[in-house]
Amino acid sequence: MSYGRPAGLPHVEDKTPAVFMLAGPVTRDEVPGLCDDVRALLEVSRAGVVVCDVGGLGPPGLGTVDLLARLELAARRAGGRIRLRAPCPGLRALLDLAGLRFQVEGEAEEREPALGVEEEVEPGQSAV
């Protein structure tokens, strides 16, 4: 059995990620519904990524860290992930303190070098 080669580059994600707006203080009772919303967005958009705009969450706290961890877990279980948009420095510090790593919109991933950055080669080492 043979099949045609799919069009486009196989490693390029061509779908636009869905955007999920988080606003105001979120209570613990609202978290399961928000997790369901993230799973539904992943299913409908088929993009694999939900961008969570956290700029309107207010002052960061451990409740916000818990919310984002649960949203990421829900997204991973649905076969996707979340990416943060507009996290304040305080929230980023809390996430680092908790040991949680999130992709942030507009930043290079850890495994990818930033654009325009070249690594130096020490004398005696190969450039490859």
- Angstrom distance (rounded) from CA 75 to CA 50: 8
In angstroms, what CA-CA distances link 103 with 51, 84, 124? 9, 6, 36
Residue with tokens 């818990």: 66
Q: Give the pTM.
A: 0.71
Identify the residue with better confidence: 100 or 119: 100
- Angstrom distance (rounded) from CA 109 to CA 23: 26
Over range 46-63, report the average pLDDT: 90
Domain ranges of the chain: 18-104
CATH topology of domain 18-104: Transcription Regulator spoIIAA (3.30.750)
Over range 50-75, report the average pLDDT: 93
